[in-house]
Amino acid sequence: MDAVRDGRALLALAHPGSNPRWFNLKPNIGLRWVLIGFSLDRFSMPQTSSIRLPERPRPPSTDGAQGASTLRYGLGMKRIGLLGGMSWESTALYYKYINEAVRNRLGGLHSADLIVVSVDFAVVEKMQASGQWDEAGEYLAERARTLEQGKADAVVLCTNTMHKVAPQLEKSLTIPLIHVGDATARAVLAQGIHTVGLLGTRFTMEQNFYRRRLEDHGLTVLVPEDSARDDVHRIIYEELCQGIVRESSRKRYLEIVQDLVASGAQGTILGCTEIEMLLDPDDTPELSTPCFSTTRLHALAAVDIALDAD
């Protein structure tokens, strides 16, 4: 106890005006003194103006084919908000593709400035199945606002189907929503293609919200016949969204794409963010026409905005 009193006295001398009762010193086995249970406002802390943080080196300027803007100390990079979880299998791909693209463009240890809100897809899928699109829009708009509150500069809705409620999200935000249909259409047209096949959920293939967005860019959109649409939709929900990838399903998708090509499609849009798990656009030697991954194209559009590329 004498040692405790001596310790308190020493601390009181070191911090004039402090009350020794605020210091609770206990010896441990190694006879070292541990300071616990004290109030920080009893200490006279140094003024922040007297603390100088070391300056971090600035990365080199970047320019060239990628069109990235000059970044200094990471401050030139915009923050992208990802609204994902629909399903999380494809949201993981968005995260991967965006970070890979930032690293490729800037080099070194650069990665993207991202904030992610991931929703419960079971909740969203129930609303889809029951036609509660307004409710689904409100549900996602509320979560999109969370991204804006997190200082995101733009929002990426990591799903094709839920772009049906994109207008509701846009109305609820004061920052841009990067539309997957616009990013995809620009990439298709850049390859000189004007007639495309479209694979996706039944909602995406059959309803106007997605096809019309593509048509507004001047594209002609073809969809599979009815039984093929059933297969495409079923495989997405029963397999891909649950992380299941079957060779038999891949073969079925290839058959459907080939039928679209026979009907005049010059290329095929993989209009569901999970389809790339089944058909890799870079590894489909069976196809004579290109496939367009909306997941990759959407992710790259986000990187262009984050880095202010033209």
* Residues facing 158 on adjacent strands: none
Residues 149 and 207 in one domain: no
User: Would residue 67 count as lying in a domain?
Assistant: no
Q: pLDDT confidence of 75, banded at 50, 70, 90? A: low
Domain membership of residue 174 as a residue range: 80-180+300-306
User: Would residue 126 count as lying in a domain?
Assistant: yes
Residue 112, pLDDT > 50, answer yes
Residues 121 and 197 in one domain: no
Residues 217 and 164 in one domain: no
Residues 115 and 15 in one domain: no
Residues 279 and 196 in one domain: yes
CATH number of the domain encompassing residue 103: 3.40.50.1860
Predicted confidence at residue 9, as pLDDT, reads 42
What average pLDDT does the chain have? Answer: 82
6-15, 195-204, 242-251: lowest mean pLDDT where?
6-15
User: Would residue 6 count as lying in a domain?
Assistant: yes
CB 145 within 8 A of CB 172: yes
Q: pLDDT confidence of 209, banded at 50, 70, 90? A: very high
User: Would residue 69 count as lying in a domain?
Assistant: no
Predicted confidence at residue 152, as pLDDT, reads 97
Residues 186 and 283 in one domain: yes
Query: In the chain, what percentage of residues exceed pLDDT 70?
Result: 75
Among candidate residues 91, 158, 159, 204, the one labeled active-site is 159
163 against 70, higher pLDDT: 163
User: Would residue 111 count as lying in a domain?
Assistant: yes
Q: pLDDT confidence of 64, banded at 50, 70, 90? A: very low
Residues 204 and 116 in one domain: no
User: Would residue 60 count as lying in a domain?
Assistant: no
Told to judge if 159 belongs to the known catalytic residues of this protein, a careful annotator would answer yes
How does 130-165 read in b/e, with b if 16+ C-beta sit within 10 Å?
eeebeebbbbbbebbbebbeeebbbbbbbbbbbbbb
Predicted confidence at residue 309, as pLDDT, reads 57
Give the residue-averaged pLDDT of 46-73.
37
Give the residue-averaged pLDDT of 205-227.
97
Residues 116 and 36 in one domain: no
Q: pLDDT confidence of 73, banded at 50, 70, 90? A: very low
**Model confidence, pTM:** 0.74
Residues 285 and 221 in one domain: yes
Query: In the chain, what percentage of residues exceed pLDDT 90?
Result: 72
Among candidate residues 158, 241, 272, 291, the one labeled active-site is 272
User: Would residue 53 count as lying in a domain?
Assistant: no
Scanning the chain, the segments in alpha helix (DSSP H) are: 2-14, 88-106, 121-129, 133-149, 166-172, 180-190, 202-206, 208-215, 226-238, 247-262, 294-306
Q: pLDDT confidence of 33, banded at 50, 70, 90? A: very low
Residues 240 and 202 in one domain: yes
Predicted confidence at residue 18, as pLDDT, reads 46
Residue 50, pLDDT > 50, answer no
Residues 224 and 269 in one domain: yes
Predicted confidence at residue 283, as pLDDT, reads 85
Give the residue-averaged pLDDT of 14-35.
41
Residue 260, pLDDT > 90, answer yes
228 against 57, higher pLDDT: 228
Report pLDDT digits (tens) over 159-188.
999 999 999 999 999 999 999 999 999 999
Residues 232 and 245 in one domain: yes
User: Would residue 237 count as lying in a domain?
Assistant: yes
What gap in Å lies between CA 280 and CA 303, rounded to an integer? Answer: 21
Told to judge if 294 belongs to the known catalytic residues of this protein, a careful annotator would answer no
H/E run at residue 291: strand 291-293
Predicted confidence at residue 284, as pLDDT, reads 84
Residue 39, pLDDT > 60, answer no
Per this entry, what is the length of the chain?
310
Report pLDDT digits (tens) over 122-154.
999 999 999 999 999 999 999 999 999 999 999
Count of the separate structural domains present in the chain:
3
Predicted confidence at residue 298, as pLDDT, reads 97
